[in-house]
């Protein structure tokens, strides 16, 4: 059967444990340094604890070491990877090819989406370089994913299914570095794409004024998991290493339940990549968690409604329309119920997002802490903070247990208890029971509270009719739990965990598609230069460059209905267009119709 992996983000140890408890088959977490979210670093000790917890359920822990690395950081990076291997990490995510020239421990390598993985040729090359798994670009359609799997079937494909979207192809965004000296390839993105811009034509005429033209909606592929599975993806990744535990709980629960439903339809074809049964005490609802509105992005080709020009912030779920206003309150037409402390928002007449907090609720009449001045009847109202839902998620909301089927039998000197391939024994005199004992034996052996196990049943040898003291049954149960907790039995990850990484000592002939600009290789150290065999390669962060600072599949010409190639009308403006920040800096746009791509250049 083919294992399917739900991969969840872990901002910290708490979020990682929450993800495992709510059904994740794997989590990815940042190390103290060199992760693509510099604000989400974790100590090696916390990562060790997370590994120990996850491995109880045969779940995996992947650590991001996916920034570009400077020369004076090479030794520290190698030491970090060794430490991660020592604490039981299952794989590391890598961007910098200089790592492949290090003396690596036996730890599998995953090619981060930062390595710009869009084509079968690139994925094949990464496989040949020793990567076990490739994290594909978010922009790929289901057909493109299927073609990659068809051409390179022996590499694991990881795809994003939920969360925030970068507008630029990952790894090829340099605008934060150019504008703010904060490198996205160093985990310090300043989120240029969430800012407001004017859109200007070649004559300086404003086509759009101060709108979020590069801010994409959030990805949501919940209803399309089965298509992605059929296309060959094996790991389904939730974005969000800066998100809190309530976000992780809700999103992981929603996707885990959906994966289970798919597997239930195909029980002989698919299985989960980890073990355990999860019982939830809440109903997940993706609309109630941080989102900028949802999109399936390019899953089925181009669509115009993938960005959110009015706001880059979370709008949440639609809860009704404003009906009638008074000086200190208003009522809402709709079926939603509200609670004191709810956060609500609306788009005003100036296309600006306004938010406010509900101070008091009387039925469908709401009394804000401060009455919004721009609110009027007929406006759509959204809830971006659900007080009751957040309160629910702040409590324990799931329990994950490993089902254990036990078999009790008599031995020459006592009794043995078998479960999950583990056998424990106790010495005890055989006493024939005067009355049936099986019900009591089952009850005593099933007392597994406080452990990760739950008894799914107890079977006996034919004719078993012994009396066994409760103290002996308790000892059998204790020995069994102790044996099951032995890492060699519990982890289930020793087999098939051999390294696929390589330590190149000679320059490698690059067979992947070549980039037109040297900085696009993201080479920031001598080892990466030697890896490619080109000393001229230097990262944008070190030397700059004359090419685009962003390469986007999102296209403003298409989004505004002016892409002739896709049936739009011919534009009346004169190109080139440019984006302008509020401070006056401009960024020329290039529409590369051959590759169906929009390029953004540095301000001039």
Tens-digit pLDDT profile for residues 332-388: 999 999 999 999 999 999 889 999 999 999 999 999 999 999 999 999 999 999 999
How does residue 35 score in pLDDT terms, banded at 50, 70 and 90? Answer: low
Question: Distance between CA atoms of 352 and 337, rounded to whole angstroms?
Answer: 25
The mean pLDDT of 60-86, rounded to a whole number, is 96
Task: Provide the pLDDT confidence category of residue 279 given band limits of 50, 70 and 90.
Answer: very high
Which residue from 512, 536, 510, 531 is spatially nearest to 102, judged by alpha carbons?
Answer: 531
Q: Which of 161-170, 450-459, 479-488 has the lowest mean pLDDT?
A: 479-488
Average pLDDT over residues 94-104: 96
Q: Which of the four pLDDT bands, split at 50, 70 and 90, describes residue 308?
A: very high
What pLDDT is stored for residue 561 in this prediction?
94
Q: What is the pTM of this model?
A: 0.93
Q: Is 253 helix (H, G, I), strand (E, B) or coil?
A: helix
Neighbours of 553 (CB within 10 A): 21
d(CA 522, CA 506): 19
The span from the CA of 586 to the CA of 209, in Å, is 13
Q: Which two tokens stand for residue 375?
A: 């609110």
* Whole-angstrom distance, CA of residue 370 vs CA of residue 373: 9
Query: What mean pLDDT comes out for the span 2-29?
Result: 97
The set of long-range contacts for 198-202, using a CB threshold of 8 Å and a minimum separation of 24, is 198/579, 198/580, 199/556, 199/577, 199/578, 199/579, 199/580, 200/577, 200/578, 200/579, 200/580, 200/586, 201/573, 201/574, 201/575, 201/577, 202/573, 202/574, 202/575, 202/576, 202/577
DSSP states of 307-356 as a string? B-TT-SS---EEEEEEEEE-SS-EEEESS----TT-EEEEE-TTS-EEEE
Identify the pLDDT of residue 304: 86
d(CA 367, CA 373): 14
Give pLDDT, residue 442.
96
Rounded to the nearest integer, the mean pLDDT of the chain is 93
What is the structure's pLDDT at 507? 46
**Cβ neighbours of 514 (radius 10 Å):** 8
What values do phi and psi take at 15, rounded to 5?
-65, -35
Name the DSSP class of 569: P
Query: How is residue 568 annotated by DSSP?
Result: P
| Whole-angstrom distance, CA of residue 431 vs CA of residue 415 | 11
pLDDT of 472: 96
Contact 539, 186 (CB under 8 A): no
* CB-CB contact of 436 with 464 (8 Å): no
Are β-strands 277-280 and 398-410 bridged in parallel, bridged antiparallel, or unpaired? antiparallel
A 10 A CB-CB count for 20 gives 29
Q: Look at residue 39 in the predicted model and tell me its pLDDT.
A: 65
Give the tens place of pLDDT for each residue, 113-127: 999 999 999 999 999
* Cβ neighbours around 267 below 10 Å, total: 9
Using the predicted structure, report yes or no on whether residue 104 has a pLDDT greater than 80.
Answer: yes
Give percent above pLDDT 70 in the chain.
Answer: 94
Q: Tokens for 157, please give them.
A: 């494909």
Contacts of residue 478, Cβ cutoff 8 Å, sequence gap at least 6: none
Cα torsion 380, 385, 387, 389 to 10°: value is 100
Percent of the chain topping pLDDT 90: 89
Extract the runs of DSSP E, i.e. beta strands, from 388-495. 398-410, 414-419, 422-427, 431-432, 453-460, 466-467
Planar angle of CA 447, 448, 454, nearest 5 degrees: 110
Residue 367: Cβ-neighbour burial (10 angstroms; 0-12, 13-18, 19+): middle
Reduced to 3 states (helix: H, G, I; strand: E, B; else coil), residue 490 is: helix
Q: Which tens digits make up the pLDDT trace of 253-272?
A: 999 999 999 999 999 999 99
Lowest mean pLDDT: which of 51-60, 494-503, 543-552? Answer: 494-503
CA–CA gap between residue 469 and residue 481 (Å, rounded) = 19
Residue with tokens 């929603």: 254
pLDDT at 78 over 50: yes
Instruction: Report the alpha-carbon distance of residue 228 to residue 242 in Å, rounded.
Output: 25
**What is residue 529's three-state secondary structure?**
helix
pLDDT greater than 70 at residue 3: yes
Q: Give residue-wise pLDDT tens across range 477-522.
A: 999 999 998 855 443 343 333 333 444 444 445 455 689 999 999 9
pLDDT at 68 over 60: yes
Q: Kindly state the average pLDDT of the residues 438-466.
A: 94
Query: Hey, what are 166's tokens?
Result: 């970068």
- 513 Cβ contact list (under 8 Å, min separation 6): 119, 121, 122
C-alpha to C-alpha distance for 39 and 9, rounded to whole angstroms: 14
Q: What is the pLDDT of residues 390-432, one digit of tens each?
A: 999 999 999 999 999 999 999 999 999 999 889 999 999 999 9
37: confidence class by pLDDT, cuts 50, 70, 90: low
State yes or no: pLDDT of 18 exceeds 70.
Answer: yes
Q: Average pLDDT for residues 101-108, to the nearest whole number?
A: 95
Return the DSSP state at 154: T
How confident is the model over 223-233, as a mean pLDDT?
98
Eight-class DSSP state of 547: S
CB contact at 8 A, 538 and 546: no
Local structure of 567: helix, strand or coil: coil
């Amino acid at each position: 059967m083919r294992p399917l992996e739900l991969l969840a983000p872990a901002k910290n140890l708490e979020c990682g444990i929450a993800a495992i408890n709510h059904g994740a088959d794997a989590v990815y977490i940042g190390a103290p340094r060199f992760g693509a979210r510099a604000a989400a670093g974790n100590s090696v000790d916390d990562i060790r604890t997370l590994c120990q917890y996850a491995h109880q359920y045969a779940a995996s822990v992947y650590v991001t070491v996916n920034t570009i690395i400077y020369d004076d950081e090479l030794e520290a990076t190698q030491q970090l990877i060794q430490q991660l291997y020592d604490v039981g990490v299952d794989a590391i995510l890598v961007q910098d090819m200089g790592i492949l020239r290090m003396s690596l421990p036996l730890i599998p390598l995953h090619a981060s989406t930062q390595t710009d993985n869009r084509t079968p040729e690139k994925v094949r090359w990464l496989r040949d370089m020793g990567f076990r798994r490739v994290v594909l670009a978010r922009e790929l359609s289901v057909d493109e994913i299927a073609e990659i799997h068809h051409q390179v079937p022996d590499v694991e494909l990881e795809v994003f299914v939920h969360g925030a979207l970068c507008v630029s192809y990952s790894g090829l965004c340099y605008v934060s570095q150019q504008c703010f000296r904060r490198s996205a390839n160093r985990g310090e993105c300043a989120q240029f794409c969430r800012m407001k811009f004017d859109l200007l034509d070649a004559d300086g005429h404003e086509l759009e004024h101060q709108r979020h033209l590069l801010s994409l909606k959030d990805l949501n592929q919940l209803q399309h998991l089965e298509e992605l599975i059929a296309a060959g993806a094996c790991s389904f990744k939730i974005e969000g290493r800066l998100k809190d535990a309530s976000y992780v709980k809700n999103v992981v629960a929603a996707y885990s339940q959906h994966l289970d439903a798919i597997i239930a339809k195909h029980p002989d074809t698919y299985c989960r990549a980890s073990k355990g049964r999860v019982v939830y005490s809440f109903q997940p609802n993706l609309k109630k968690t941080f989102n900028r509105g949802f999109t399936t992005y390019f899953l089925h080709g181009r669509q115009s409604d993938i960005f959110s020009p009015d706001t880059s912030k979370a709008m949440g779920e639609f809860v009704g329309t404003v009906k009638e206003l008074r000086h200190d309150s208003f009522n809402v037409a709709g079926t939603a119920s509200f609670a004191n402390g709810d956060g609500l928002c609306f788009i005003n007449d100036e296309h600006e997002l306004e938010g406010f907090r509900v101070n008091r609720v009387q039925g469908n009449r709401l009394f804000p802490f401060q009455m919004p001045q721009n609110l009027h009847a007929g406006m759509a109202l959204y809830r971006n903070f659900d007080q009751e839902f957040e309160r629910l998620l702040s409590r324990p909301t799931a329990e994950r247990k490993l089902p254990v089927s036990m078999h009790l039998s008599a031995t020459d000197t006592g009794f043995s208890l078998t479960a999950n391939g583990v056998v424990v024994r106790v010495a005890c005199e055989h006493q024939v029971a005067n009355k049936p004992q099986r019900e009591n034996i089952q009850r005593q052996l099933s007392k597994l509270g406080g452990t990760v196990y739950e008894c799914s049943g107890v079977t006996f040898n034919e004719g078993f009719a012994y009396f066994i003291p409760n103290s002996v049954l308790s000892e059998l149960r204790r020995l069994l739990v102790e044996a099951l907790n032995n890492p060699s039995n519990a982890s289930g990850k020793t087999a098939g965990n051999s390294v696929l990484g390589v330590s190149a000592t000679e320059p490698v002939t690059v067979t992947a598609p070549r980039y037109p600009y040297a900085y696009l290789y993201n080479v920031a150290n001598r080892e990466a230069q030697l890896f490619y065999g080109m000393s001229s390669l230097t990262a944008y962060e070190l030397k700059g460059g004359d090419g685009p600072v962003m390469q986007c599949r999102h296209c403003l010409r298409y989004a505004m209905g002016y892409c002739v190639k896709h049936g739009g009308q011919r534009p009346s403006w004169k190109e080139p267009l440019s984006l302008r920040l509020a401070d006056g800096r401009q960024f020329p746009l290039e529409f590369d119709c051959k590759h169906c791509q929009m390029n953004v250049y540095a301000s001039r």
